[in-house]
Amino acid sequence: MNQPEETNMEKAVETTEKKTNWKRELLEWVGSILIAVILALTIREYVFTLVKVQGESMEPTLQNADRLYVNRFFYTPEKGDVVIFVPQSDPGHPYIKRVIATEGDKVYIDFKTGDVFVNGVLLDEPYIKEKTRTTGLYILNQEKTADYDKDHPIVIKKDHYFVMGDNRNNSKDSRHLGQIPKEEILGGAVFRFWPLDSIGLMGEEANPEYGL
């Protein structure tokens, strides 16, 4: 006589267990998704960031709308690196340029010949679009306030960098902005993933003197 009641109780227990299992599964899924989102945000903020090139200042190395992976993880710029930075003078506009000189280096640009010298050595720059003919506000101020020639070059300060676009005559860079402090640099471009016919590591086009 008690069998129907026992059967009903068993069904009730089974239904409760199913509900509990369903809730547990949902919580596990939500937890996994949250962890994935946190990891993705962490990687994006501190390890790798995706950027889209805007403009022509890095031609012919980079074209408008190219897409890059940028390394941010304990990154220290080196000569020849292509870096992304946000200057305090233009905080809403990330820039992408090439590092020409680092702390302690001496930079001189001869605008008559278009040649760039670092530590008295003429750079071999196969990556540029054309010779450096255009100056900028920072260089003009150097010429006005200090001796500026091959014997009196710009000395790069501690934790600062001198950067230039590969499209030298269509680029706003250290000739205008001055030396770029380390804290303004977001990271270095390491890999181009778009367009598909240009996929590859960054740096292969740089001067062998830079170790790339």
Residues 100-118 pLDDT 10s: 999 999 999 999 999 999 9
42 and 65 part of one domain: no
Q: Is the pLDDT of residue 24 over 50?
A: yes
pLDDT for 86 beyond 60: yes
34 against 185, higher pLDDT: 185
Band (20; pLDDT cuts 50, 70, 90)? low
Token pair of 165, please? Answer: 């676009």
Tell me: pLDDT of 212 over 90.
Answer: no
How many Å apart are CA 68 and CA 193, to the nearest integer? 6
Q: Tell me: the pLDDT tens digits for 120-176?
A: 999 999 999 999 999 999 999 998 888 888 899 999 999 999 999 999 999 999 999
Judge if 14 and 72 occupy the same domain: no
Structure tokens, 150: 């091959």
Catalytic residues: 57, 97
Same structural domain for residues 15 and 67?
Answer: no
Pair 140, 125 in one domain: yes
Does one domain contain both 29 and 81? Answer: no
Residues 150 and 193 in one domain: yes
Task: Kindly state the percentage of the chain with pLDDT values over 90.
Answer: 52
CATH code (residue 140) = 2.10.109.10
Residues 42 and 54 occupy one common structural domain: no
Give the pLDDT of residue 160: 97
Query: What's the half-sphere exposure (Cβ side, CA atoms, 13 Å) at 163?
Result: 30
Give the pLDDT score at 32: 56
Phi-psi region at 46: left, alpha or beta (left = phi > 0; alpha = psi -120 to 50) = alpha
Select the more confidently predicted residue: 211 or 68.
68
Q: Are residues 99 and 24 in the same domain?
A: no
Q: How much is the pLDDT for 74?
A: 78
51 vs 132, more confident: 132
Are residues 20 and 74 located together in one domain of the fold? no
Nearest Cα to Cα of residue 64 among 170, 163, 136:
170
32 and 88 share one domain: no
Q: How many domains does the chain have?
A: 2
Read off the pLDDT band of 205 (50, 70, 90).
low
Q: What is the dihedral of CA 133, 138, 143, 148, to 10 degrees?
A: -80
CA angle 191, 192, 195 (to 5 degrees): 160
pTM equals: 0.75
CA distance 168 to 153: 19
d(CA 202, CA 101): 18
Lowest mean pLDDT, pick from 24-33, 54-63, 87-96, 168-177: 24-33
Beta strands in the chain (DSSP E): 48-52, 67-71, 82-85, 95-101, 106-110, 115-118, 121-122, 154-155, 160-164, 180-181, 185-194, 200-201
Q: For residue 172, which amino acid is it?
A: K
For range 62-71, the mean pLDDT:
91
Containing domain of residue 100, as a range?
Answer: 50-210
